[in-house]
Amino acid sequence: MNSVAKKILVATTNRGKLAELAQMLGELSEQIEWLSLRDFSDVSEVVEDGADFAQNARKKAVEYSRATGLWTLADDSGLMVDALGGAPGVKSARFSGGKDKNRTLLDHKNIAKVMKLLEGTPEEKRTAKFVCCLCLASPEKVLIETEGKLEGVIAQKEMGTNGFGYDPIFYIPRLGKTAAQLQPELKNTVSHRGQAIAILKPLMLKLLSER
């Protein structure tokens, strides 16, 4: 195996998402130097116009890999609420229509819109799931694709300060907490992203061992 760390781009500028991915793939840290889109300010943003999470993850991984020449790991993830016909879905990050660069402010606006749309909806009809699709691509081809899901219910109010996005309103009945109330170690195990990464990790290890 090449002793030099392989540079892999994580296709995000979201510090929270990058931190979660890096932590969950920590066993690979000696073999990989993780980079983010913040390291490539001259690379044009890929338009996420896919019909589902898998299409968006694949498009980002492939196009950013071709633009930078690096293996690229991209994810597309979001919240799907049954009572809203699967919305926010692929529009989760910009559900409120805002373009705030302040990620925390945008998260609050997105949460507020979901809560407003669900006003008066009984708990048994507030079922939802988080979905995460991951794609690792080289400039030549797609290398790995995985998916993870986490079932839950939209809470009546925000609870917890950990995590980001819709975590404060995503209640997990079997744990009795929202995603934002979970300690990082537990969240990384049960989350949609954690499940997708658990499948990805051994496949990445195999690829790296072959280079």
Q: Are 73 and 135 in contact (CB under 8 A)?
A: yes
Cβ-based neighbour number of residue 169 at 10 Å: 27
Which of these is catalytic: 76, 82, 100, 107? 76
Tokens representing residue 48 in the block = 């996420």
Question: What is the C-alpha to C-alpha distance for residues 79 and 167, in angstroms, rounded to an integer?
Answer: 10
Q: Are 87 and 78 in contact (CB under 8 A)?
A: no
Asked about 76 being catalytic, the answer comes back as yes
Q: Are 197 and 21 in contact (CB under 8 A)?
A: yes
124 bridge partner residues = none
Question: What is the C-alpha to C-alpha distance for residues 184 and 163, in angstroms, rounded to an integer?
Answer: 8
Question: What is the C-alpha to C-alpha distance for residues 113 and 96, in angstroms, rounded to an integer?
Answer: 6
Question: What is the C-alpha to C-alpha distance for residues 91 and 96, in angstroms, rounded to an integer?
Answer: 9
Give me the active site residues, please: 76
